[in-house]
Amino acid sequence: MSGRTAIVLGATGLVGSELWPKLVGRDSPWESVVLLARRPLAALPAGISCRVIDFDGLPETFPEDIRGDDLFCCLGTTLRQAGSREAFRRVDHDYVLEIARILTQRGLRQMLVVTALGSDPDSRFFYNRVKGQLEADLSNLDIPVISFLRPSLLLGERSDSRPLERLGQAAATPARGLMRGPLATLAPIPAAEVAEAMYRIASHEVNERPVQPGIRRAVIPSSEIARIAHTTDLQSLGGMK
């Protein structure tokens, strides 16, 4: 056991709900896991706890005793759910950055963030711009190791209704196997594969490189996420630099 603590943002979502059970699995290097959420999660197994936090009151309301070594972020909303561009940006950018900043001051060692295909601070598309700005701002914090995972359209069963996304999934899923070479990174990807890749990248870091000086950043496109989720070659994970 590494004695490390993992913190998860977005644990109730499509990717997050696939991720957190892995962190308390038999081979997991994490000793404790803390889910930060806006509502309580019931019936959690041993070794995992949920802390309800006031996202809108950040940074002042963030509890003083929460700290961790590895932060997994699967948090995000949609423009439709958020209701405005400002509200969307507050969730997908400000909440994440505020929490990362506080935890960095408390000794964070590694962060993995799900952003999106096309993340670019200069993108003409608002969604991609917010995700790109998040990547850029997180890169300016002193987090020793960061992995930005940029999936294409996520595949998986949702409880909420997202008609456009469902249409996209229905159209793109049959074509998934045909999207090879340069098209591979556009292929939709199961949320479960994103979660598995996050787990593999982070646990490899904990197990194989627990102490390494300097700052390392990796940007992991969708095709690479899918490869990592199925690989046994753990040496080349994510092209970490």
Ligand X SMILES: NC(=O)c1ccc[n+]([C@@H]2O[C@H](COP(=O)([O-])OP(=O)(O)OC[C@H]3O[C@@H](n4cnc5c(N)ncnc54)[C@H](OP(=O)(O)O)[C@@H]3O)[C@@H](O)[C@H]2O)c1
Q: List residues with catalytic annotation.
A: 127, 131
| CA distances for 193 relative to 63, 81, 122, angstroms | 32, 25, 28
Q: Which of 174, 168, 182 lies closest to 221 in space, CA to CA?
A: 182
Q: Look up residue 63 and give its two tokens.
A: 């509890």
Dihedral angle at the C-alpha atoms of 196, 199, 201, 204, nearest 10 degrees?
-130
- Please state whether the peptide bond connecting residue 174 to the residue before it is cis, i.e. omega within 30 degrees of 0: no
Q: Among residues 10 and 238, whose Cβ is nearest to ligand X?
A: 10
Nearer to ligand X among residue 31 and residue 121 (C-beta): 121
Question: Which of the residues 88 through 147 are near ligand X (CB under 6 A)?
Answer: 91, 114, 116
Q: Is the CB of 12 or the CB of 104 nearer to ligand X?
A: 12
Report the residue from 29, 132, 151, 190 that binds ligand X according to the rule CB under 6 A: 151
Kindly indicate which of the ranges 64-72, 97-105, 148-156, 224-232 contains the residues binding ligand X, using the contact rule CB under 6 A.
Answer: 148-156
The correct pick among 6, 50, 75, 97 for binding ligand X (CB under 6 A) is 75
- Please give the residue ranges that form the binding site for ligand X (CB under 6 A): 10-16, 38-39, 55, 74-77, 91, 114, 116, 151, 153-154, 165, 191
